[in-house]
Amino acid sequence: MVREVQFAELEQLLLDIGFAAVQTTGSQKVYEYPSSGTLIVLPDYEQQAYVRIVHLVAVRRILSENGLMDSDKFNLFLSKVAI
């Protein structure tokens, strides 16, 4: 798995596959896939900040387990954004 994924790139992927940002009062970013109610909760990353590996692994698992994107396709996304 790559280490250099900016939050803006991950956020764009989530929006492209149908997630919507959810307003929250806390210090996190929440994305919901409306038709299934699948949630992804991430720390309040700055747009240009690099996403921690643990969060990339969690997003990949959530997408895969909910049938929204298989792990291989997510890994392909990671390889395309890698420097």
CATH code at position 64? 3.30.920.30
Domain tally for the chain? 1
Mean pLDDT of the chain: 91
Q: Give domain status of residue 29, yes or no.
A: yes
Instruction: List the end-to-end C-alpha distance of the chain, in Å, as a whole number.
Output: 12
- Is 76 in a helix, a strand, or coil? helix
pLDDT for res 79: 83
Question: Which residues make Cβ contacts (< 8 Å) with residue 54, sequence separation at least 6?
Answer: none
Domain residues for 53?
A: 7-81
**Is pLDDT larger for residue 4 or for residue 61?**
61
Q: Give domain status of residue 69, yes or no.
A: yes
Q: Give domain status of residue 42, yes or no.
A: yes
Q: Give domain status of residue 2, yes or no.
A: no
Q: What is the pLDDT of residues 32-63, one digit of tens each?
A: 999 999 999 999 999 999 999 999 999 999 99
pLDDT score of 1 more than 50: no
What average pLDDT does the segment 26-30 reach? 94
pLDDT score of 3 more than 80: no
Q: Give domain status of residue 1, yes or no.
A: no
Contact status, residue 4 vs residue 82, Cβ threshold 8 Å: yes
